[in-house]
Structure 1
Amino acid sequence: MARTLLIAGTASHVGKSTVAAGLCRHLADRGVAVAPFKAQNMSNNARAVPRATEPTEAGEIGVSQYVQARAARTEATTDMNPVLLKPRGDGESQLIIDGEAVENVGAGEYYEAGWERAREAARKAYSRLAAEYDVIIAEGAGSIAEINLADRDLANVETARFADADVFLLVDIERGGAFASLYGTLELMPEDLRDRVVGAAITKFRGDPSLLESGIVEIEERTGVPILGVLPYDDPGLPQEDSVSLPAAGETALYGDSSEVRIAVPRLSRISNFTDLEPLAREPGVGVAYGPPETVLEGADAVVLPGTKNTVDDLLELRTSGFGERLRTFSGPIVGLCGGYQMLGERITNAAVEGTGDEATVEGFGLLPVETHFSREKRVERVEREIRGVGPLAGALGRVTGYEIHMGETALTGPADRPFRDEGAATEQVFGTYLHGLFENRVAREAFLDRVFEYAGRMRPESHAEPSPYERAGALVADHLALDALGVSHENMSERV
């Protein structure tokens, strides 16, 4: 069986996903067969991957485990995230087990009726991975010391137990009170998990690490847990898993380099798969601005409407804010992805299937001659297609890959170009598609950005080759963690597996 290391945290957003990805890349580069695992995830950023039990079919997992699998140089499957909860709003989530949507549940309902099923699915998925790989890098969720959830904490407590995992704790110093958080977490952890802790690390530190030395000495003396590293504040550029990384409602945030052009993205209440925009933000001179629908178009050179977990309700909110009227007067390139594509059409019928109201039909923004009809059937599929460059992606030719995760079927109601055979729609200014991951394809990304820079009347800067986010994450952990003491250097992996 594989050796398992659980990357746990004192809180959410302390760097668990980055450290897990970095360790996956570090080990993979040294010839270790390594795979990621997260028993239970909550995220609307999902990827379509092969189902472990039915490889010819596709299922959904959280984006972090997809990213970690790529870091591990292995193919992602649903076993790497067997339980996924996708929030729908109003305290309800879509429950996905082994990649397949099972039902919509409230939090209380899930713990009362669905948790045992989820636990068994997670245990079996882990067993399959452990039989195939030498090392499993498991990622916890939130805090490992939530005493109100200790008896039903699948991602932390149960994983540590059924995987017989060592535990590595992360604490984010940027939040303040790092030593107190670490001490309190260790005190409140279940005793059997406390005995599994092999070390801890401080993350997101800015400044001179020597300033921490006295605190590190004392916390080690008080707890007996070694501090195995101090990670600097350094974002390798891995795709983000949840909307915590986006600005709060009513605020605007810029990502990337906005020195030349600015791509506006309305901050939807139920935004999903916003990682679709990250490849654009990594390009020189390109800034991606998330902001309130009332102001986000100001100074924009292009607009992208992202995916959403609830197209109908987000569309109604955008219409109430007046965003539709402002979008219709915008003269630059416009792209809609998945839910954003549905919004750009003329109308959505059978809307009550997805929305929280009882509307039969909801009018779209009318910028594309298409109509979407909702049904309860969900499409989850990995795809490879020939792109025919039209509209805002004029000039894009070749094969592109990506995935579809959506409800509803969209049909043409009038003349429009098809960017793909039988899928998507485009006019000279507006482009819509169900294809997530579109801009991860260089041919599509280059064509769109060429059009954006042309519209803005700016010269596009040259791109410079840089290390991939996976390489940067691997270097981050290798440079700042005591991997020998943690037990994940190549040498002691060879001894233990």
Structure 2
Amino acid sequence: MKHIMLQGTSSHVGKSILTTALCRIFYQEGLSVVPFKAQNMALNSYVTKDGDEMGRAQVAQAEAAGLEPFVEMNPVLLKPTGNSCSQVILMGKPIGNMSAREYHKGYSLKAFDTVKEAIRRLEERFDMMVIEGAGSPAEVNLKANDIVNMRIAKYLNAPVLLVADIDRGGALASLVGTLELLEPDERDLVKGLVINKFRGDVTILQPALDFLEEKTGKPVLGVIPYLPDLGIDDEDSVSLDDKVVTKDKSNAPIKIAVIQTPKISNFTDFDALSREDDVNLYYVKEGEEIGEVDLILLPGSKNTTEDMLYLRNSGMEEAIKKAHAKGTPIIGICGGYQMLGEKISDPYHTESDNDSVKGLGFLPMETIFAEKKLTSQVKAKCFKWHFMGESLEVDDLFGYEIHMGETCFTKECLNPFLITQRAGKDVEITEGLINDEGNVMGAYIHGIFDNDKYRRGLINILRKRKNLEPLPVSVNYAAAKQHAYNRLAQTVRENLDMEKLRQIIG
């Protein structure tokens, strides 16, 4: 099996995106290629067909490689819960919450045995592995127990490309400094340098590239241009700011506000909405105005009770209620759905130390957190779906569930969805809730807006409220993502020395 690994001078330098690009390039060239990241820390996650939970970045990489995602691509997932603590997901299943000290000092090296087993299974099936590191390999306080950077490179004898983000500044110093902090055998594994997110004339940068090669003895394999609005799933909430900056659609007639909480998770649920030309979707956090919008979205949360208290203490709860009183509809997904209810209880303290928290009170329901997490892919259809005075029927919806809460209704209301298949088994389970007024709705199904007919149907209901004509489905979201992978691959291919890279890989 051949390997190539991408490590970075810090987090958010573009390792995930460049890994995705290489997966696509090698897939286009007919290789059997698989992405891999030993340990991922992210609040954006996905559920595989087998009901395993993994990081969304590896899902995008799998799609770029022409593969159905499976958990060996990301055997360890850490989902931060707050207070330097994370839920540890091992091979797709939660094994408990650990503090940073407990994990790094006591558990990570034990998890490395599982990582090695995942690698062995991948080596049996594939010819090529594109590996993503995490953060920086030069974090001297973490290196002894790090299982995602140089420990992987040395275990596989994998050549490493070191990536720096020039857009944030200090790229040259960070590349030189990172190499200086590596041990000699680690430095030997670094076979090339990559400058990422460059804006401007690359010829002006050439003296700096010459300096880098002379100073480090490592070739600069390429300078990758800054690519706004990639249309590829993001790994963590750091990239939320990019979403706001890179796509200004203030003139779009439909305006949708997503409430950004500190522990927001799976905000990729709303990426498909942002791809529609007539939708301006933006994120609102503390201190910012919701504005005059057509819809408010409450996203998922890794710590629902803490995020609910954040809404209350920050004044955002009051702002949401004022907007709703003026006629703005609200939709909540997963944790956002739970917040729409009357009460959220956590008797086992699975997410926080809060025993119970009062919800927003829009929906007649209460949620109690259980000790076991439900993770499954689902198929569903609209069932008695009446929202904003309109109805919508779609029979072939798909999505996935990730939640520990069990919700019970305090009075009878409309359930908008009927789950027809869960984890591959045929079922008939009503899902979600719509209030009597038909202007607040919630459900546990992630990825529901990826369904083209459903998404356009909802937008058209919002259009009708503004006396705008409905529009036909014009965005095939799955096809749009494939186009994005191809665009990314082409850009990287044109700006990376592929001949030298192939020599490095061997």
So what's the TM-score if we normalise by structure 2? 0.90
Structure 1 residue 92 corresponds to structure 2 residue 107? no
CA contact (8 A) 1:203 1:231 kept: yes
Correspondence for 2:249 among 252, 257, 265: 257
Using the alignment, how far apart are the partners of 1:354 and 1:254 within structure 2? Answer: 37
Q: Which runs of 5 or more residues in structure 2 are unaligned?
A: 419-429
- The AA in structure 1 aligned to 2:399 is G
With 465-474 and 175-184 compared, the bigger mean Cα shift is at: 465-474
Residue 402 of structure 1 corresponds to which residue in structure 2? 399
Report the 3-state secondary structure (helix = DSSP H, G, I; strand = E; otherwise coil) of the residue aligned with 2:149. helix
Matches within 5 A, 1:32-43: 32-43=31-42
Residue 455 of structure 2 corresponds to which residue in structure 1? 445
Matches within 5 A, 1:250-399: 255=247, 257-260=249-252, 261-293=254-286, 295-329=288-322, 330=324, 331-350=327-346, 353-354=349-350, 356-359=352-355, 361-388=356-383, 389-391=385-387, 394-399=391-396
Report the 3-state secondary structure (helix = DSSP H, G, I; strand = E; otherwise coil) of the residue aligned with 1:487. helix
Residue 12 of structure 1 corresponds to which residue in structure 2? 11
Residue 233 of structure 2 corresponds to which residue in structure 1? 239
Structure 1 residue 119 corresponds to structure 2 residue 112? yes
Structure 1 residue 430 corresponds to structure 2 residue 440? yes
Shift of 1:245: 1.5
Using the alignment, how far apart are the partners of 1:133 and 1:180 within structure 2? Answer: 37
With 135-144 and 368-377 compared, the bigger mean Cα shift is at: 368-377
Q: Which runs of 5 or more residues in structure 1 are unaligned?
A: 51-56
- The AA in structure 2 aligned to 1:244 is V
Over 3 Å counting, the alpha-carbon distance change for 1:253 and 1:213 in structure 2 is closer
Q: Deviations over 1:218-277 (max 9, x none)?
A: 2112222111111111032211111111249xx986856232222111110111111111
Report the 3-state secondary structure (helix = DSSP H, G, I; strand = E; otherwise coil) of the residue aligned with 2:257. strand
Q: Deviations over 1:102-150 (max 9, x none)?
A: 1111111112221122111111111111221111000011112222222
- The AA in structure 2 aligned to 1:412 is F
**Count of aligned positions:** 481
CA contact (8 A) 2:276 2:475 kept: no
CA contact (8 A) 1:398 1:443 kept: no
Residue 423 of structure 2 corresponds to which residue in structure 1? none
Identity of aligned pairs, percent? 39
Over 3 Å counting, the alpha-carbon distance change for 1:101 and 1:464 in structure 2 is closer
Shift of 1:453: 2.5
Residue 53 of structure 1 corresponds to which residue in structure 2? none
With 39-48 and 390-399 compared, the bigger mean Cα shift is at: 390-399
- The AA in structure 1 aligned to 2:48 is V
Using the alignment, how far apart are the partners of 1:140 and 1:471 within structure 2? Answer: 23
Shift of 1:403: 0.9
Structure 1 residue 474 corresponds to structure 2 residue 482? no
CA contact (8 A) 1:252 1:291 kept: no
Residue 82 of structure 1 corresponds to which residue in structure 2? 75
- The AA in structure 2 aligned to 1:328 is K
Using the alignment, how far apart are the partners of 1:252 and 1:229 within structure 2? Answer: 28
Over 3 Å counting, the alpha-carbon distance change for 1:129 and 1:402 in structure 2 is same
Using the alignment, how far apart are the partners of 2:129 and 2:89 within structure 1? Answer: 22
- The AA in structure 2 aligned to 1:363 is K
Residue 20 of structure 2 corresponds to which residue in structure 1? 21
So what's the TM-score if we normalise by structure 1? 0.91
With 169-178 and 147-156 compared, the bigger mean Cα shift is at: 147-156
CA contact (8 A) 1:310 1:354 kept: no
Residue 228 of structure 1 corresponds to which residue in structure 2? 221
Report the 3-state secondary structure (helix = DSSP H, G, I; strand = E; otherwise coil) of the residue aligned with 2:396. strand
CA contact (8 A) 1:416 1:426 kept: yes
Using the alignment, how far apart are the partners of 1:400 and 1:205 within structure 2? Answer: 40
Correspondence for 1:140 among 109, 133, 139: 133
Over 3 Å counting, the alpha-carbon distance change for 1:254 and 1:293 in structure 2 is farther
Report the 3-state secondary structure (helix = DSSP H, G, I; strand = E; otherwise coil) of the residue aligned with 2:403. strand
Correspondence for 1:60 among 48, 53, 69: 53
Using the alignment, how far apart are the partners of 2:467 and 2:483 within structure 1? Answer: 30
CA contact (8 A) 1:203 1:232 kept: yes
Residue 47 of structure 1 corresponds to which residue in structure 2? 46
Using the alignment, how far apart are the partners of 1:193 and 1:9 within structure 2? Answer: 14
Residue 54 of structure 1 corresponds to which residue in structure 2? none
